[in-house]
Structure 1
Amino acid sequence: MSQPIRVLVVDDDFRVAGLHRDVVASRTGFTALDPVHSLGAARQAVRAHAPDLLLVDAFLPDGDGVEFIAGVDVDAFVLSAATDAATVRRALRAGALAYLTKPFDARVLAERLDRYARMRNLLATDRPLEQEQIDRALTILHGSAEPASVARSATEQRILEGLGDDEASAAEVAERVGISRATAQRHLATLAARGQVEVRLRYGTTGRPEHRYVSARG
């Protein structure tokens, strides 16, 4: 079983920091560290607790949160009331994986955390990555261009039902559902881009790794 993702909230507003911590704590696979309220405390917490992800306000009493994330080797989201384009661009240049403008609904942060977890899962390998894997990881993190309200096609619904709780290849799914392998593979790729299925690689002794699919739950 993989280790939980350790998340540190850095925000000078104690109430807001607590709300963000509670969102983190509510997500399966995450551990919320005690929030900190200054960059000085954040530096100490990073050294002491080695978080996997930072949720950092752009502006803190003792310095610039964007400069902070640029200087630490830790994944980070910027959560800020600042909506000017210059700050957003600066955060992206600093390496922010997401920029959420306050105030936002707790569901927005929860969704971004879940996407981040799926992206980490896809990239959790020491083997060289194919371009398709990199593209899929970025799509999962930032979301599909397709609205979330778009209903699944009938074929995609059949594929998800055929997949069930098992891990299977495109060929195995195709056999279960009664469609061609190419059709199954195309729809599985679409479902993976939406984060509705996860892709795992099975390495044999020779040749390219086999893509295996499993339904994304939770």
Structure 2
Amino acid sequence: MTQPLRVLVVDDDFRVAGLHRDVVASRAGFTALDPVHSLGAARLALRAHSPDLLLVDAFLPDGDGVEFVAAVDVDAFVLSAATDAATVRRALRAGALAYLTKPFEARVLAERLDRYARMRNLLGTDRPLEQEQIDRALTILHGSADATSVSRTATEQVILEGLGDGEASAAEVAERVGISRATAQRHLAALASRGQVEVRLRYGSTGRPEHRYAATR
């Protein structure tokens, strides 16, 4: 079973930090760690809890949040009231995966978290990645008008019906709907890139994880 992604909020405003924590806690597949309100506390939390994702304010009482993001080897979003291009560019150079300008609605952060989870899911493999997989991961993370406007093909609709409410491998889906495994794999990958199918990893006795697919609801 996939472990929930641990998220640490770093914000000196206690109320805002609590709101962001609550958004994280409301998303399936995430665990919200107790927020911290300074970079010193964030460094301690990093060692204690090994978060998967940081939500960091750009400016904190004891230092620069963007510099902190650049210094740690952890995925991060920068959340800031600063809208000047220089700060945004600096955050992106630091490695921030997203930059959200405060104040923002809860749904905006929720959407970015869901995209991040799908991106992590797609890149959750030790095997070499093809360029198509990398491009798809970046499209999922940053969003694409094209990706959300593509309609389901007839084959994809049949595959979704074959998945039903459970999960299955590409081979199982292929057998259920009467298509080849390669065709099922290709269409499942397309559905996953648009967020219509979730990809899960199941580890068996052989050590190589099996990809399992489930329709998102």
Q: For this structure pair, what is the TM-score category when the shorter chain's length is used for normalisation?
A: 0.7 to 0.9
Q: CA deviation at 1:129?
A: 2.2
Residue by residue, what CA displacement relative to the aligned partner does 1:157-182 show, whole Å, maximum 9, x if unpaired? Answer: 3331123223242x765665567888
Provide the residue aligned with 1:136 in structure 2. 136
SS in 2 for 1:146: helix
Provide the residue aligned with 1:126 in structure 2. 126
Question: 1-10 vs 134-143, which deviates more?
Answer: 134-143
Checking the alignment, whether the CA contact within 8 Å between 1:8 and 1:32 is kept in structure 2 is yes
**C-alpha RMSD of the superposition:** 2.9
Provide the residue aligned with 2:104 in structure 1. 104
Distance of 1:113 and 1:153 partners within structure 2: 27
Residue by residue, what CA displacement relative to the aligned partner does 1:85-117 show, whole Å, maximum 9, x if unpaired? Answer: 211111111011111111111112112112212
> Where do residues 62-101 of structure 1 align in structure 2 (5 Å cutoff)?
62-101=62-101
Distance of 2:187 and 2:92 partners within structure 1: 32
- Consecutive unaligned residues in structure 2, runs of 5 or more: 203-207
The total of aligned residue pairs comes to 212
Checking the alignment, whether the CA contact within 8 Å between 1:9 and 1:34 is kept in structure 2 is yes
Distance of 2:51 and 2:63 partners within structure 1: 20
- Work out whether 1:215 is the aligned partner of 2:200: no
Residue by residue, what CA displacement relative to the aligned partner does 1:32-80 show, whole Å, maximum 9, x if unpaired? Answer: 1111111122122112222111000111122211111000111101111
- Consecutive unaligned residues in structure 1, runs of 5 or more: 203-208
Question: 109-118 vs 136-145, which deviates more?
Answer: 136-145
Identity among equivalent positions (%) equals: 85
Amino acid at match of 2:21: R
- Work out whether 1:30 is the aligned partner of 2:45: no
Q: CA deviation at 1:190?
A: 3.0
Residue by residue, what CA displacement relative to the aligned partner does 1:173-194 show, whole Å, maximum 9, x if unpaired? Answer: 5665567888766643432221
Distance of 1:198 and 1:40 partners within structure 2: 37
Distance of 2:156 and 2:115 partners within structure 1: 20
> Where do residues 44-59 of structure 1 align in structure 2 (5 Å cutoff)?
44-59=44-59
Provide the residue aligned with 1:192 in structure 2. 192
Provide the residue aligned with 2:168 in structure 1. 167
Distance of 2:47 and 2:185 partners within structure 1: 44
Distance of 1:25 and 1:65 partners within structure 2: 23
SS in 2 for 1:28: coil
- TM-score, normalised via structure 2 length: 0.81
Amino acid at match of 1:167: A
Distance of 1:72 and 1:183 partners within structure 2: 41
SS in 1 for 2:145: coil
Amino acid at match of 2:213: V
Distance of 2:46 and 2:200 partners within structure 1: 31
Do the aligned partners of residues 183 and 130 (structure 1) sit closer, same or farther apart at CA in structure 2, a change above 3 Å counting?
closer
